[in-house]
């Protein structure tokens, strides 16, 4: 069984959780041994627009996941310098694919996962990420180094999820999942 852990917190940006959530769940149509979990610190987290979202488990479980996907939103600003929050993660880029959307990169940096690497993030977080010693690629929507990737701008989630799937389930499943959400006449292929 392969597991995707999507890391959620209060004041998350809706698209940055729900777009990857839907895309990752589509893998189940192609791979039976696949699960996607929303992990947080509370039983429910609330988005910036007020949507209450039930979690499937605690962030501590992320250490066992094959893919750890940090979502984003204003909530990251309360977390990336919080040692009590950061200490609950025991991630390992040698055996896990680890990535972030938008300002989720601040948490990756807080965890030391971007040390000596370049990254992208949401424009309002460029300076903060740079002050943490990370080289910010200000015109890139996706920056990858081995098993670590950062993406920015909500729709970059599509390329970020594609990158995760290429690494874990291969090109064919990746292509099917991404084609399944394209607009009709623009590469759309039904998978259910």
Interacting residues with its own copies (CB under 8 A): 13-15, 18-19, 21-23, 25, 36, 49, 51-54, 120, 122-124, 138-142, 151-156, 158-159, 180-186, 188, 190, 192
Nearer to its own copies, 120 or 147 (CB): 120
Nearer to its own copies, 96 or 150 (CB): 150
Residues 6 or more apart in contact with residue 145 via CB below 8 angstroms: 117, 118
CB 130 within 8 A of CB 100: no
Nearer to its own copies, 51 or 112 (CB): 51
Give the nearest distance from C-beta 95 to its own copies in angstroms. 27
- Nearest CA to 64 out of 147, 148, 149, 5 is that of 5
- Cα separation, 15 vs 95, whole angstroms: 28
Nearer to its own copies, 85 or 130 (CB): 130
Give the nearest distance from C-beta 175 to its own copies in angstroms. 15
- Cα separation, 157 vs 13, whole angstroms: 12
Backbone Cα Rg of the chain: 16
Give the nearest distance from C-beta 165 to its own copies in angstroms. 16
């Amino acid at each position: 069984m392969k597991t995707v852990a999507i890391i959620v917190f209060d004041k998350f940006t809706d698209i940055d959780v729900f777009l990857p959530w839907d895309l990752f769940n589509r893998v189940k149509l192609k791979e039976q041994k696949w699960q996607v979990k929303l992990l947080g610190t509370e039983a429910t987290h609330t988005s910036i627009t007020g949507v209450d979202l039930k979690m499937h488990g605690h962030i501590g479980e992320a250490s066992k996941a094959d893919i750890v996907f940090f979502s984003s939103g204003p909530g990251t600003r309360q977390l990336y310098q919080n040692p009590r929050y950061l200490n609950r993660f025991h991630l390992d880029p040698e055996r896990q694919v680890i990535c972030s959307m938008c300002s989720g990169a601040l948490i990756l940096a807080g965890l030391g996962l971007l040390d000596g690497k370049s990254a992208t993030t949401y424009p309002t977080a460029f300076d903060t990420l740079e002050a943490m010693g990370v080289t910010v690629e200000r015109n890139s929507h996706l920056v990858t180094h081995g098993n670590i990737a950062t993406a920015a701008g909500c729709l970059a989630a599509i390329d970020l999820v594609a990158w995760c799937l290429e690494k874990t389930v291969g090109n064919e499943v990746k292509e099917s999942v991404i084609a399944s959400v394209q607009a009709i006449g623009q590469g759309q292929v039904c998978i259910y």
